[in-house]
Amino acid sequence: MSRRRAGLSKVIRMTQLTFASFDETGGEQHRAALAYVTEAFAEAILAGIESDSFAQAALSAALRELVATYGEESVATFAEALPARIRAGEFTFAARH
């Protein structure tokens, strides 16, 4: 398989995995992982770390892990879809004003 085709295959697998709902493939593992991240977030806040600092560090760590797993091009393609997902409210759970 060519390097380009292998990269495309990774993009497709990543997109399928990332956009799967919690009830689909990996849903239980995704929920468990999110629980761990939420717990770490709460512990950091209790330790005096500002929430935006922790959130930015978590995003950086997540992107590094995704790049290590899927490669830069696949993650860049994934990231291109984030603005629409954010605007659609996919990551909104409560009003913060």
Q: What is the pLDDT of residues 64-86, one digit of tens each?
A: 999 999 999 999 999 999 999 99
Instruction: Estimate to the nearest angstrom the gap between the alpha carbon of 12 and the chain centroid.
Output: 16
pTM of this structure: 0.66
H helix intervals, the chain: 3-19, 27-46, 51-70, 72-80, 82-87
Q: What is the pLDDT of residues 19-67, one digit of tens each?
A: 444 445 568 888 899 999 999 999 999 999 999 999 999 999 999 999 9
Amino acid at 97: H
Domain spans in the chain, listed from the N-terminal domain onward = 3-87
